[in-house]
Structures are given as C-alpha cells and as structure tokens.
Amino acid sequence: MSKLAELIATWAQPGRIDWIGMRPERRAGMQVADSVMISTSGLDGDRGRAGKRAVTLIQQEHLATIGSYLGQGPVAPEILRRNLVVSGINLAALKGREVQVGKSILRFIVICAPCSRMEEALGKGGYSAVRGHGGWCAEVVRPGRVRLGDPVQPVD
C-alpha cells in the first residue's frame, strides 16, 4: 500500500448520529426520530429511493458553516432535508467506502448537491451557501437500525 493510500485509509475517531429525519413526501415537513430502520430503499417512512441516493447524510459541523455564509447561526437540519446528521468524522473522507452507521452499512457514492429550494428555504445566496457542504448520498449495503448516538465508522 502506498503512503498516500495508507493516509486515505486512516481515520481519527468514529463519528456519531446526532439527528434523524424522514421526508414522507415531496415538500412535506420533516419527521424527526430517535431511531429508524434503514432498508434497501432507504429510511422507513422516507420518500427516498433505492440505489445510490437511498440515504442522505450531512455533517453537523457544516450546518454552522452554511449559516456563517448567510450571516446567521447554524442552519437547522430539517431545512436541508437530509436524513442523518453526523458529527465527529469527515464524511468526504469516506467516499466510496463501506461505512457502518448504527447496525446498517452504507456506501457513500455521490455528494448531495443543493437544489433550487435552498434559495426559498434560506434566502438569497442559500444555494451557493450549501454548495460543497450539502452532504453525501449513500446506497444501502446492509439494512439495519440506526439510533441517535450510534457510531459512524468505516468497515474496512
């Protein structure tokens, strides 16, 4: 293994699940939960879809970053409409890897680009504030239950 590959493969500490939310239908308010089952098509009760966008995740640390770009405090996770808020581990460093999230295993595939609704939800500049900080989309490798406080860490 090359030195760069070795560096990429390492991580300092597990992350943790800080928030769980489901979108039951388009434009519906987020339903917040303490625990949820992740099936092959995403979170039970969510309008997600099977495949590379089954589960969406964002870093807790980025909520403050997005807010700072808008001249305010941290953005509430339900505004961004991601399923899981994770803290303590760099999600971007997990791209393409299998990651244990609670009892489930996900593979982070592609970034969650902001949608045009960010201008509506956050005001002028909302779309640009979220760019690069909107989180990740993941496919489900192994279904399982996820609870607040559960660890998030690479499998390999």
What pLDDT does residue 104 have?
98
The answer to whether 44 and 146 have CB atoms below 8 angstroms apart is no
Which residue, 111, 155, 148, is CA-closest to 17?
A: 148
Burial class (CB in 10 A: 0-12, 13-18, 19+), 43: buried
Contacts of 74 (CB under 8 A, 6+ apart): 63, 64, 66, 67
What pLDDT does residue 50 have?
79
Domains of the chain: 13-154 (2.40.33.20)
What pLDDT does residue 69 have?
97
| Mean pLDDT of successive 10-residue stretches along the chain, which has 156 residues | 83 92 86 96 86 92 97 95 96 94 96 89 94 95 98 92
Q: CA angle at residue 56 from 52 to 61, to 5 degrees? A: 135
What pLDDT does residue 156 have?
75
Other CB atoms closer than 10 Å to residue 96's CB: what's the count?
8
What pLDDT does residue 51 have?
80
What pLDDT does residue 49 have?
78
What pLDDT does residue 13 have?
87
Q: CA angle at residue 93 from 148 to 79, to 5 degrees? A: 50
What pLDDT does residue 138 have?
96
